Amino acid sequence: MLQRSIYILFLSIIVSVFGSCNDYEKVLKSDDVNFKFTKANQYFEKKQFAKANVLYEGLLPVMRGTKNFEPLYFKYSYSSYFLKDYTSASYHFKNFVDYFPGSKDADEAEFMHAVCLYKMAPKASLEQTNTIKAMEALQSYINTHPDSKKIVESNVMMDEMRRKLEVKEASAAKLYFDISQYKAATIAYKTIIQNYPESVNSDYYQLMIAKANYYFAKASVVEKQEERFMNAIDAIKEFKDNYSKSKYNQEADKYFLQANNYLKKLRNEHQ
């Protein structure tokens, strides 16, 4: 009896699936534009976005200029978004704003254009062109919609992408340090502090500037060492002045002592 019940259930599922496929095929082959539009909306509401997307795309050229083109194009853009085709969705959301600047949905479409770019932004270790584009789009939205309910969400995404760019730049600076390109590392860490003055890692970056100067001095010819150890000491003093409660204070003290010892030794040798 149980086996028969399972069989009947399985059979009903198969019939339902094939019936649904046949219905969709009928919609695709239909010449009735309004019928197709209605069905596309139904598929969209049922979250069958792949089916809705195909139907909307086919209706775009024939419904352009009609009263239904605006809602069609808006839902078409969203169907691409829900299918995670962020490249297409971004393009169409932007176009929607251009086509319908006075639409009640223009604000949301502009925001979604930026969200799509945000979704396309890669992890920090990869090239960050899309991240920068997303930040530009979000900043434009924030500037032009200061009273939008999306501002808080926009700022959260902006902060996340700024952190991502900071991580990218910090990785590059560390690489310079690791391969003993200390002058380049110093410049890179200084740039990070300038670009991200509110960073929670500012004390670490300043410490790395001091360390890069210290090792640059050690690797220099004798004639340039005194000046360069002085640069290291100045960088450590700047660290101590700005980050007196930093967890890196002990390490900074160690480099300060070592740089001073080298400096004293050099000056004694020159006497």
Exposure of 248 by Cβ count < 10 A (0-12 exposed, 13-18 middle, 19+ buried)? middle
Whose structure tokens read 């534009």? 33
Q: In percent, how much of the chain has pLDDT > 90?
A: 81
pLDDT score recorded for residue 98: 96
pLDDT score recorded for residue 226: 92
Q: Which residue has the higher pLDDT, 203 or 5?
A: 203
Tens digits of residue pLDDT in 53-106: 999 999 999 999 999 999 999 999 999 999 999 999 999 999 999 999 999 999
Whole-angstrom distance, CA of residue 101 vs CA of residue 97: 5
Q: Is the pTM of this model over 0.75?
A: yes
Whole-angstrom distance, CA of residue 267 vs CA of residue 126: 47
Whole-angstrom distance, CA of residue 116 vs CA of residue 68: 24
Whole-angstrom distance, CA of residue 50 vs CA of residue 83: 7
Tens digits of residue pLDDT in 14-64: 434 444 557 899 988 888 999 999 999 999 999 999 999 999 999 999 999
Tens digits of residue pLDDT in 109-142: 999 999 999 999 877 777 788 899 999 999 999 9
Query: What's the average model confidence in pLDDT over 182-203?
Result: 96
Nearest to 249 by CA among 239, 257, 235, 258: 239
pLDDT score recorded for residue 37: 94
Query: What's the average model confidence in pLDDT over 220-232?
Result: 93
pLDDT score recorded for residue 125: 72
pLDDT greater than 90 at residue 209: yes
For the chain, give the mean pLDDT: 90
Whole-angstrom distance, CA of residue 265 vs CA of residue 24: 86
pLDDT score recorded for residue 2: 44
pLDDT band at 10 (very low <50, low <70, confident <90, very high): very low
pLDDT score recorded for residue 271: 57
63 close to 74: Cβ distance less than 8 angstroms: no
pLDDT greater than 90 at residue 257: yes
Q: Which helix (H) or strand (E) holds 258?
A: helix 249-270
Which regions of the chain does DSSP assign to beta strands (E)?
none
List of domains in the chain = 180-271 (1.25.40.10)
